[in-house]
Amino acid sequence: MNPKDSIDIAYEKIKKLRDSGHKYLGYPVYDVSKRDLQKVMSISEKYGIPFGWIMNLIKHETASTFNPAIRNSIGATGLIQFMTKIKGQQMYYYKADGTGKADTNTLKKMSFYDQLDYVEGYLYKRIKNILNADGKVPNNFTQGQLFMTVFYPVAVSNPNYVFPEDVQRANSGIRTPKDYFDRALKKPIFTLNEVPFSVAEVKKKFGEVFNQVTQATTDYTKKNWIPIVVVLVGVAGLVYYLKKSKVIKFA
């Protein structure tokens, strides 16, 4: 499955949900564009996290609405249900570069596209210590770990962890990470047959398509650096000529 096919599949499935009139807590399915999905893909490529996993995560956390404004009964908001407060402490979120401080009221007003900057920022903050030298997650990283990175980080590597009672009350029927996995993968955008559970399995299934998608972008940049330099030199030469010829004046 190449990146374009993945985007097309996700787009059609979300469109089908929207056309069905699906809503949750009064929030309709967001009109997700292919431009929005391409941005999800860019996050996928940057960190080596399969696109399908991120889409499954967002689908589950937004109750199949993909709506960046959705807010539940405890104030969790947006594409990955950013928390307003944790243990009474006001929460703020940032982009991956540390800029753009925002609370959930600010996030709620954002588009799908813009809120993805904060999804990336949240993920990067919590996975940066496990990234390989190439900036990507290791082969043993799983879809379940991605889910817990967002839902309950303490449980990332502990599938038998029992969530506190208040978490269970707010998420009826979810007592352990396995319960979350089962719920999230009941009607996913991409099934386990389509996109396996670990990075290693994904690489084995898709081979070079997954391994080299980011390298293709790098290679393109390397191949085209000479024309870029030529253009820049040409522009500089033109400016010098115009200045010497007094066609234009410089302050």
DSSP-derived secondary structure for 120-175: HHHHHHHHGGG--TTSS--TT-BHHHHHHHHH-GGGTT-TTPPPPHHHHHHSTT--
Three-state SS for 82? strand
Can you read off the two tokens belonging to residue 20?
Answer: 């069905």
pLDDT band at 3 (very low <50, low <70, confident <90, very high): confident
Q: Tell me: the pLDDT tens digits for 58-101?
A: 999 999 999 999 999 889 999 999 999 998 999 999 999 999 99
Q: Give 170-193 pLDDT, tens digit per residue.
A: 898 999 999 999 999 999 999 999
Rounded Cα distance, 184 and 147, in Å: 9
Q: How confident is the model at residue 151 (pLDDT cuts 50, 70, 90)?
A: very high
| E strand or H helix at 36 | helix 34-47
